[in-house]
Structures are given as structure tokens and as C-alpha cells.
Structure 1
């Protein structure tokens, strides 16, 4: 286990590991502990009562955060003709068809979101083994397979966050920057938790949201009082 720096140890000492904090108090602690030279990302981890290996317990969705993420998102779009031009005007970073597929097959993966028009899925499908494991495969349920590519690009760049439960049933996401106001961070966290809560799958039994913790990139985790967030 890596040895904590003096700053990290001091930050950890401020937190009662056994306590579940109200959201506003937790956000204050996170902001006060984010003392790195860069603007730290505020992250959330939610332990869910699901086993994603079962199809009826998969948790996946998308949420437009009210205050954005503070992150610059690079978007790749599979489209042709007018739709390709629409994507470029909306701010897409990479736009193409077979040529884009070949670039990705060659190792060009410098993007965070992948969008496609429905007619391009035959091309995109050939990249399943590359995009799938990275959570980048376009999906109509998430709005990333759509004829409205311009709107999808703007949404991706404007604070839209995708989420998916990992094998262990944990959902991770970055929900803003430590430079955000306490109010903006709290709003984003509440919106995200609400979106995950509403995505409860039919196969989930018992308690769905078991634990929620928030932290900054370099800071310790702070456990949230779930009843104060939902």
C-alpha cells in the first residue's frame, strides 16, 4: 500500500471513518481537502445491491448534470454527408465513417464519447471488441445512436455523464471539480444519485443503494448519509 503524504494524512485525520455525513458537510470537507496544484475532480462511488452478471440486474444510464462536469470531453461521431457536417458544427472532435473505423482499429482512441447515426451501426459494430470493453460502444438507450447527432454532441460536451455498474456492483463517476461552488457540487451529486436510483433493474432485490462515498482526486473518501441524498 502506498504511503500517505503529510497532506493526505492530515486530510484523512479530519474524517470520522465510522460516520455517515450529510451531503453539504461532506462537500465542504472535500473542497477543504482539495489542495493540489490542479483542479481536482469530485468523484462518487455507489455500492449497489446488484450482480451485473445477470441481465436483469444490469444498471446503466445517462444523466445531464445541472452544472456540468468541468471536464473537456472529446467526442467521436460516425456519420456521413449532412449528418457529418452537423456533428462538426456542433463541436465533434472526430467525424468519419470507414476512415474513422480504420483510425480506431489502428489505435487512435483519443476520445471520451462515441456517437453514431443509426445507418452507421454496421460499421461501428465491427469495433465492438475495441469500444465495448471501454464503455464507448454507441447505444440507442443512452442516446448515442441517434439521427440527432448535433444535439447528442452538445449534450456530451455540456455535462452529460454515462454510468454503468461494474462487475462488483459499483458505479463510479466524476461529477464536477473542486473549484465548483458547494451548491453546484451538491446539485450534481443529488441529480446523479437520483438518476441511479431510478435505474433500479427489475432483478434487484432488497436494498438497492447500499453505500455512497464521495472524494476528490487526491483526497480521502467521505461516506454519505443516504437518506440525505435521495
Structure 2
């Protein structure tokens, strides 16, 4: 995809987005600090290959987003004073971002959202990010009718690069979706370990 950073958007390498489709590109106030409004310039992607595979395997009965990923570039109005810098507000921004991520998961139909452990990881720019795990549940429709609780894993990374904040996160089924739904998905992998590795690679690739 073209680099949209000139418009305030983050950059996600196209090489990592095979099988994903951009579904949203927004700029909105995500939260406020005591001295500034914080605007998030956000790109959202879904695993369109997985969605189409499930839809085809169920004759169109199940058609929803199963896996998503987002990347956000934050801007401050007014800008942070040079004497303060992003390090001074990092813990506040991270806390607000994690709270906002919980809201995002709930808005997408996930329930019982709970934060887990956090760790530090290095992203592709060489910066260090704080990565936190989340768990949730989705009441997923089944091909034969009814619903069943599908466990969901989510991840959110927060870091600074060149004096700016980046957020990136996403979620995916924590159980193999083909076995969970009782359908054959020969063209896609729904292994949770593979989904995790692909999501972490996407997070690390954001600039």
C-alpha cells in the first residue's frame, strides 16, 4: 500500500498484508490528557482470506470478521513541549490506549475482555514497545445453528519512534477455527500459534 504518513497515517509494509484488506482509515480524538487532545490516525485491516474461506465453507451462513489488526499514529494538540517529550507521558498514554483497546474489542462483539501479562519487545524500527496480552470471548454462530463461546486472544503494543507514539494491536481465535466450527478450511491456517506470530510480525512492522 502507499505510504500515507504524509496524511498522518502510520505505515504498514505491504509485504506483510497479503490476505488482509483495509476496512477503515480514520482520524479521531481517542482520549484527552490534562494539557492536550490526542488524535489517533488509524488503519484497520481484516483477514479477508479467512473470512471468505469460512463464508464459502458455510454457503454464506457465517460471514463476519474473525481476525483484525490495526495501527495508529498519535498526534497531540497542542504539540507536547520539547521539555516534556513522549517519555514523560508514556505511562499515561499506555494506560489510556489499553483502556481504549478494551472498548474496541467490546464494540466488535467480544465479551469478558481481560488484560494479561505485558512484556517488552523490539519493533522493526529498533524501538522498544510495551506489549500486553488480552483475552476475550466471542459468541460465535455455528453452521448448524446456535452459538458457542469462542476464546479470543488479543495483543496491543505501545511505543515511541522519532518522538511520536505508535499503537498497534489485533485479535484472533484462540482455538483452531476449522475444528471449532466443524468445517474444512484447506486454504487458510487457523492455528492460534500461527495467528499469533503473524500478528506480532504486523505489530513490529508498523512505522
Greater CA radius of gyration, 1 or 2? 1
Q: Which has the higher strand share?
A: 2
Q: Confirm or deny a common fold (TM above 0.5).
A: no
TM superposition score normalised by structure 1: 0.26
TM superposition score normalised by structure 2: 0.27
